[in-house]
Each structure stands twice: as structure tokens, then as C-alpha cells.
Chain A
């Protein structure tokens, strides 16, 4: 994937706090113009990566380029990236209207019409103090701020984690409308696949501070198979088949395998895999090993 079509390019990115690595050896590419889901368990390094991508954090090692530039380097670069942090922080003592004023004054590319229309449609009272908004309303306000600055890249860190199911659905629908309308690149993280699978067409799965797998949803589904058969050792698999996860019962072995070639071994019952099972297989990461050579460059190469 070339730099022109990437919104984010990270190479060997790592962040260490004291002796603990929050993120390590992260090499990935976020394709431009897509809605990208960053999925991983809590503490997997998602927030760390996103904070580096918006310039809030400086990496300990490795390089990252966002829209072709160093993240957060100057005001012009900051203007190109919209960000909603986890829990959608807003100033509790500022009213909704004052938040829009904040956005207008701090962003030269501010789209006041968009902001006003959104606030109206969401039924937010401009005179209401942000501290008295519900969690869902607060998220919507924060998203409005991030959208109305008209970013080329919109980054949302766990945008729905604190919302109830109804607010969650509304928020995601809203986000899909935005993505269709304005077509910025959107990256959203979640610890639950179900939050993002309906809106994302590209997935990056992180676990233990590393990228486990990344790719378009369709490619991921086409490139993985669920194999069921008599119990056997997964070590004896052909070289073009990478075992992602193995589980055994007394007589049966079930494996998630990454391969684009047909499975020829007649002892296996081969079936398609659902996205949920696929992501869970990577998140649980029961098999650690280098990916096969033909894996797309999106996949992290352990150092």
C-alpha cells in the first residue's frame, strides 16, 4: 500500500511507560477513505496508538506518518485530523453553544453550519451546560466538534464504550451518515467487535501491544477458514496455511487457519468463518508465530 493511499503509516512504533511497553513493534497502514475499526481487548494498546496518531503522545521508538506528516507537528496538521478521546471529554462548565464557539475560534476550517445543524437535529439545547448532558449527548457533542472542523481523518477512541445500547446504535448510524457524506477516513477503536463491525470495512486487530491481523473485512473473511476434523497435531500443516487458533476436544480439533488456497486434506471439514470468531481467534492469540511470506504488508512483523 503506497503512502498516497494511506491515512496513517506506522513502522515499528512503540511506546514504553517505565518498564512496561503499552505498544510495541506496531507496523500498520490505515487505508485512506475507509472506515477502519481498531479492535482489541482493554489494555491492548489501542488508545496509545491513537494518541500517538493525533500527536498527544510521542512514540518511544519507530516512526509514524499521518496524512503524510508528523502528527501534531503544527496547527495546519492538527487541523487535518479530528479526534474524540475516550469518554468524550468536554468542559462541564461550558454550554453546548460555547463549545461550538470554542470550535469556531480554535479551528480555521470550522463549518458552523454543519455544527449548528447537527446540534439542532440531535436536539441539544445550546444553552445547556455540557456537564449536565447525558453520556450519549456528550459523545454527540464531542463528535460534532470533531466533525465540524472538517478533518481529512477522523479518529474516535472507544466512542461507544460508555453509551447504552440505544445511544450506541444512534451514534453509529450518525457516524455512517457522516462517512457516506463527507468521506473522510474514519478510524474507530473498540474492545468489542460488535460495536464496529456494522460500520467498518477494514479491520485492525491488536493484542498485547501488537497488531495481530489487519485487512479489509471481505479479504479477511475470504482468507480464513474454519477447519474441523479428527484430533491431530496442528504442527503438521502445509506451509501456505497459517494456524491462528487451535482448540481440541477429546476426539476433535478445530482450527482457524489463514490461507487463500483451497484446503486439500480430505480429513478436514472446511467452513467459512464469521467475523466475530475470526477476531476472537486473533485476540486470544493462542498461536504466536511469524506470518507466512505472502501475508499482506499490513500485518505486523515481529522484531
Chain B
């Protein structure tokens, strides 16, 4: 059965491997340059290479749509499931082998892509932020789990919808909805946030502090020395009065005055140090979803498909 599964899949696997190799070559060839040149001095070309990271959103979606959805839908549409399921092999074993072969290629290629890109991005991430928002899903091991989830989702939708094109569309939509719902509603609540004080950044001359560098800040407010929140309008009057500042005073003077009065920011955040823990949880979450969908597919083809 492995022979048939590989025979059916090898052309797609070869194409995907070739594309991965191209991306890998670009990343390896450009890494030295971006690691040695200051970010401000990089040309647009090198900066735009960061967009390759969106591939780590797109690749899982395409794997789901082009590898997952047709797996059963194309067989059912062409009627070939009636050929292969009446050989001396149970359809459960048939599906297990097919999924195993495709999942293995999926893991190898997405892991290679994602880990290479994680390494490539380190120079940007030192000054930037990789735990928050979009970057998080374009780094580390989570993209592997996204891809397996998309594969399982596509396979199930293909079995249920029974026609490749609608199944592919459904997989694309379903994957993106789940992927970004997870990012918006689940990921912020997985780990406890940390609350920290830092000098107020209201006036522009202070760029955060070591404790909040690279952190995913989920909320922040400015308070006075007693811990009472202060708002933008009242704070200006307060500072101007206390330190005799005018509109022409420098940003530095405003900041110094704020510091003098004990005005600071209280932020709630996921510090950069939580990155790999959060990656592990996100990965586990999507692997659990993938396993559930795969189990549902096995149930479905046993009971519902002809």
C-alpha cells in the first residue's frame, strides 16, 4: 500500500520539495548579509524577504487544500475508491497509509521551511518581536502543526463533501478561520501574563525597557506615582505645571519630568522568554485538532462513504 500511496503522491511531493529547496537557498544565501548590516541600512529587497514568512501561513493552507481535500474527494469523484477499497486491504489501513505518507512529507518540508526561517529572522527578532501577533505563527514549530491540522481538515471535508473543488475551498476558508480565531481568542489566554512597570513611553524619547523588550504587550496604561491612572490631556497640564514646560520643550524634558514625578506605564504582557513555551502549547493545540479530525475521517469512511 505504501507503494501506491507514494506513487500517487510522488509528483506533488517532488514539486513541494523543489519549492522548499528554492526558498531554503534564498534564505541561506541572504542570511549573512542581514546578520551583518544594520536593519536601517538594509535595502528594500532584503527587508521584503521577511514576507517569505507569510508562506508559513499559506503553505499549511495549500497543503490542506491541495493534498488533504483531494485525498478522498478525488477518489470518490472518479469512483476509484470502489476499485481500491475492494482490494484485499481495509479502507482503514488504506487511509492510514495514505495519511502517513503525506503527513511525513508535510512534517519534513514545513519543519525545514519554518526552522530555517526562524534562524534567518533572528537578526530582525533581536530588535523586533516574534512572540506577538503575526510573527509568532511564522516561526518555530507551530507551522508544522498548522499544516497537519490543515491536512486533516482537508481530508475530512473531502470525505464529507465528496467533490474536490468545494472541498478545497472549504478547507482554505476553514483553515484560515480556525488559525486566526486561535490566534485572536485562544493564544492570549494560554499562558499567564506578566505585569511590569516601565518608564512611560508617551513622549517618544524612551523606547521601552529591557523587561519589556520583544514582549507581546496585551495591554498598558499610564499611572502616577500613587498608581492612579492618568490620561493624555491631564498629564500634559500636570507636567507643564510641575516642571514649567512649554510646548517647545524637548521630548527628553517631558520624559525627565514624568520620571521625576513618578509617572510610569504599567503593562500586561507575554515576555519574550515565553516564546518556546507558547509555541509548544500552540503546537499541541493544533496537533490535538488534527488528531480529532483524522479520527472523525476514519469514522466517516467506515460508516458513511460508498
Residues of chain A whose beta carbon lies under 8 Å from any beta carbon of chain B: 51, 54-58, 72, 74-76, 78-79, 81-83, 85-87, 89-92, 94, 98, 101-103, 105-109, 142, 145-146, 149
B93 and A75 within 8 A (CB): yes
Residues of A with C-beta under 8 A to B306 = 51, 56-57
Residues of A with C-beta under 8 A to B81 = 56
Is B259 part of the contact surface with A, judged by Cβ < 8 Å? no
**Which A residue sits closest to B87, measured CB to CB?**
A106
A-B contact count (CB 8 A): 75
One digit per residue, 1 when the CB lies within 8 angstroms of any chain A CB and 0 when it does not, for chain B 1-23 equals 10110011000000000000000
- B interface residue count range (under 10 / 10 to 19 / 20 to 34 / 35 or more): 20 to 34
Is B79 part of the contact surface with A, judged by Cβ < 8 Å? yes
A81 in complex: contacting residue of B78, B82, B86, CB < 8 Å: B86
A56 to B8, CA, bound (A): 22
Residues of B with C-beta under 8 A to A82 = 86
B85 and A106 within 8 A (CB): no
A56 in complex: contacting residue of B78, B85, B87, CB < 8 Å: B85
A74 to B87, CA, bound (A): 11
A106 and B84 within 8 A (CB): yes
B88 in complex: contacting residue of A54, A85, A89, A108, CB < 8 Å: A108
Is B54 part of the contact surface with A, judged by Cβ < 8 Å? no
Distance of B303 from chain A, by nearest CB (Å)? 6
A234 to B7, CA, bound (A): 64
Question: Which residues, 66 to 111 on B, are CB-close (under 8 Å) to A?
Answer: 78-90, 93
Distance of A113 from chain B, by nearest CB (Å)? 18
One digit per residue, 1 when the CB lies within 8 angstroms of any chain A CB and 0 when it does not, for chain B 105-131 equals 000000000000000000000000000
Which 5 A/B pairs are nearest by Cβ-Cβ distance?
A: A79-B88, A85-B82, A106-B87, A89-B79, A83-B86
Given A83-B82, A89-B78, A78-B89 contact (CB < 8 Å): yes
Residue in A90, A106, A108 whose Cβ sees the most chain B Cβ within 10 Å: A106
Question: Which residues, 272 to 306 on B, are CB-close (under 8 Å) to A?
Answer: 303, 305-306
A-B contact pairs, 21 of them (CB 8 A): A55-B86, A56-B86, A57-B306, A58-B303, A75-B90, A78-B86, A79-B88, A82-B86, A83-B82, A83-B86, A86-B79, A89-B79, A89-B80, A91-B8, A91-B80, A102-B4, A103-B87, A105-B1, A105-B3, A106-B89, A107-B87
A287 to B192, CA, bound (A): 77
A78 to B98, CA, bound (A): 19
**Which B residue sits closest to A58, measured CB to CB?**
B303
